C-alpha cells in the first residue's frame, strides 16, 4: 500500500515526488513510456529560473530525479493500463503489476501529435521522427524538414541545422505561433528555408522503407509540389496522456484533465499536475509549480483522510 503514487516522471511528477518525499510520504513514481517527459528529449532550457547560462533538459530532469530519490521517492517503470478510482485505496494497473495507493497524483504529460498520414505512421523510426534530440545525429549532411509553426518547430529546426545541410520548415499558415525570439532566431539561420502555407499530403517512399520526398499542397493556390528530403521531423504539438482516465475523470474536449482548487480532480484524493491538465502554459516551470501544488494537496488530503 502506498501513501502517494505518482504517474509520470517529467517535471511535474518529479517535483511532486520531491515535495511528497520531503513530507515523509515515501512516494512511488511510475515512470511511464517516456521517462523524464519532454525535458528528457529537449536541448537547452534557457527559461527555467536559477540557471542564468541555461541548462540541458536531460540534465535538469536527472537532477530532479536524484533530488526526489534523496528524499525517499521510489521509481518503477511501466505504462499504466487501467485505473480503479471508484473507492480508496485506488488501484493502478501497469501491465501485470497492480499498485494500491491512498492518494494519486497524475502527471502523465502529453505525447507528440502526428499528422495522421498512413505513410507517416509506417515511416516512424525510418526517417520520420518526433524527437530532434534523439534522431538529429542520423541526418548529418542531409536535407530534412520540420513540420510545424510553434516554438517546438523553431527549436527543432535550429537544433537540426547543426547536423543537416538544409532544414525546410513546413507550416500550414503564413503566420507563426512561435514566440518572436524563437522565430527571429530561426529566420536568421541560413540553413533554414521556410515553406508556407502548405500542408503535407504524403511522405514517400513506404515501399522502400525510408523517407525520400514530401508531397506538399499550397493551401492558397492548391498547387502540389514534391520536396526531396531524407528525414521529416513532426513538431505540431502534443496530446495529453489521459486515455485510461476516460469516463473516470472530467476532461476538456481535447482530453486534458480538468482540475479545480489547485490540483484537485472530481475524485477526492486524485490530483493532476503538469501538461496532462495544462494546454495553455505548458512550461517546465509551470509544470514544476503544479507538481508542487499536487503534492501539498495530497499531503493535506491524507492528513484529513488517513484511511
292 given a catalytic annotation = no
131 given a catalytic annotation = yes
Contact segment (CB under 6 A) with ligand NAP among 63-71, 96-104, 132-140, 152-160 equals: 152-160
11 given a catalytic annotation = no
Residue 104 near residue 85, CB atoms below 8 Å = yes
Taking the complex as a whole, how short is the minimal distance between the CB of residue 193 and ligand NAP, in angstroms?
17
- Residue from the set 152, 241, 242, 277 that interacts with ligand NAP by CB under 6 A: 152
Taking the complex as a whole, how short is the minimal distance between the CB of residue 281 and ligand NAP, in angstroms?
7
275 binds ligand NAP (CB under 6 A): no
Contact segment (CB under 6 A) with ligand NAP among 19-27, 97-105, 171-179, 240-248 equals: 171-179
Size of the site for ligand NAP (CB under 6 A): 17
- Residue from the set 10, 37, 109, 150 that interacts with ligand NAP by CB under 6 A: 150
Is the Cβ of residue 153 or residue 298 nearer to ligand NAP in the bound state? 153
185 binds ligand NAP (CB under 6 A): no
> Shortest CA distance to 170 belongs to which of 141, 150, 190?
150
- Residue from the set 282, 285, 289, 296 that interacts with ligand NAP by CB under 6 A: 282
Q: Compute how many other C-beta atoms are within 10 angstroms of the C-beta atom of residue 120.
A: 20
27 binds ligand NAP (CB under 6 A): no
151 binds ligand NAP (CB under 6 A): yes
Which sequence positions are flagged as catalytic? 131, 134-135
Residues forming the site for ligand NAP (CB under 6 A): 47, 113, 115, 148-153, 155, 172-173, 177, 179, 236-237, 282
Amino acid at each position: 500500500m502506498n501513501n502517494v503514487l505518482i504517474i509520470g516522471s517529467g517535471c511535474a511528477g518529479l517535483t511532486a515526488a520531491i515535495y511528497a518525499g520531503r513530507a515523509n510520504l515515501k512516494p512511488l513514481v511510475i515512470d511511464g513510456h517516456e521517462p523524464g517527459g519532454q525535458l528528457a528529449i529537449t536541448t537547452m532550457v534557457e527559461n527555467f529560473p536559477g540557471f542564468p547560462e541555461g541548462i540541458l533538459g536531460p540534465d535538469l530532469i536527472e537532477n530532479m530525479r536524484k533530488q526526489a530519490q534523496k528524499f525517499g521517492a521510489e521509481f518503477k517503470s511501466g505504462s499504466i493500463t487501467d485505473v480503479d478510482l471508484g473507492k480508496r485505496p485506488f488501484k493502478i494497473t501497469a501491465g501485470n503489476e497492480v499498485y494500491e495507493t491512498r492518494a494519486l497524483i497524475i502527471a502523465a504529460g502529453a505525447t507528440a501529435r502526428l499528422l495522421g498520414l498512413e505513410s507517416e505512421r509506417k515511416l516512424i523510426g525510418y526517417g520520420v521522427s518526433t524527437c530532434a534530440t534523439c534522431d538529429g545525429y542520423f541526418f548529418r549532411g542531409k536535407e530534412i524538414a520540420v513540420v510545424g509553426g510553434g516554438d517546438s518547430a523553431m527549436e527543432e529546426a535550429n537544433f537540426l541545422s547543426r547536423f543537416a545541410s538544409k532544414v525546410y520548415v513546413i507550416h500550414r499558415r503564413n503566420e507563426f505561433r512561435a514566440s518572436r525570439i524563437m522565430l527571429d532566431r530561426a529566420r536568421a539561420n541560413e540553413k533554414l528555408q521556410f515553406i508556407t502555407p502548405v500542408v503535407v499530403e504524403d511522405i514517400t517512399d513506404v515501399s522502400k522503407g525510408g523517407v525520400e520526398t514530401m508531397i506538399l499542397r499550397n493551401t492558397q493556390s492548391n498547387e502540389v509540389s514534391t520536396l526531396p528530403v531524407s528525414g521529416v521531423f513532426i513538431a505540431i504539438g502534443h496530446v495529453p496522456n489521459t486515455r485510461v482516465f476516460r469516463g473516470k475523470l472530467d476532461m476538456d474536449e481535447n482530453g486534458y484533465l480538468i482540475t479545480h482548487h489547485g490540483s484537485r480532480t472530481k475524485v477526492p484524493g486524485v490530483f493532476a499536475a503538469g501538461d496532462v491538465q495544462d494546454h495553455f502554459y505548458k512550461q517546465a516551470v509551470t509544470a514544476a509549480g503544479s507538481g508542487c501544488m499536487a503534492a501539498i494537496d495530497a499531503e493535506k488530503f491524507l492528513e484529513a483522510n488517513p484511511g
